[in-house]
Amino acid sequence: MKRKIKYFVLAAVILCSCSYPPPAGVIEVPVSRDQYQPLLDQSKYAEYKGQKMIFDSIDIAAPDVTNFYYLSEDKTIGYTLFYKSDGIQQPVVSFFWYAMQKVFQDVGIDVREELVIKNVPKLDLKIMSLTDQDAKFILTLSRNGILLVLKEINVSQKLPPTKDIPELKKRSYMFIDRIAEAILSDPDFKREFFSDKGKIS
């Protein structure tokens, strides 16, 4: 994933002396990775502490998501993503990879970027749809090249409408937590993550 991220960063540097806001008339909500602080209940995920995981990639196949922002379901709010609150825009896949890495590490997982580590499970995600209250993604978990889990996961948070930008930022960070919770709590993911399936001596 590091190589992919470097390409995204290079593209961002080349393209992003300028910014890429949402369409005119859409409320822009700038979200920065440095301001995201995971709030998962670590006691619920204590079994993951100290476990290694290869976090290989996040891809996006969501039709309404651009390289640099995503929209609310009614397309009235657009979320632009940044490395830092005073920095350049960050591509959506890069932002979500680093944000998910941050929350996995926060619960104690030793997140690796190598393509293969013997007997260590590897996670890949593909986001199929994404708004500020709904996400659908394909989760792929493998070990030593052997497929363990391939499934679609849906995550939602239903909240009352608001145009308050600080509140919308807070909700966007909450949604990252919910996506991570959906992965770590998924029974198939959890079973195979801790299983011996695909392990080699």
Instruction: Select from 38, 186, 117 the least CA-distant residue to 194.
Output: 186
Give the domain ranges of the chain.
2-193
Which pair of structure tokens corresponds to residue 116? 């293969």
- pTM comes to 0.89
What is the pLDDT, as a whole number, of residue 15?
44
Say if strands 69-71 and 77-82 run parallel, antiparallel, or are unpaired: antiparallel
**Residue 11 pLDDT > 60:** no
**Residue 120 pLDDT > 50:** yes
- Which secondary structure element, helix H or strand E, spans residue 95, and what is its range? helix 92-106
Note the pLDDT tens digit of each residue in 143-196.
Answer: 999 999 999 999 999 999 999 999 999 999 999 999 999 999 999 999 999 999
What is the pLDDT, as a whole number, of residue 1?
54
Mean pLDDT of the chain: 91
Q: What percent of the chain has pLDDT over 90?
A: 83
What is the pLDDT, as a whole number, of residue 176?
97
Dihedral through CA 193, CA 198, CA 199, CA 201, nearest 10? 180
Top-level CATH class of 2-193? alpha beta
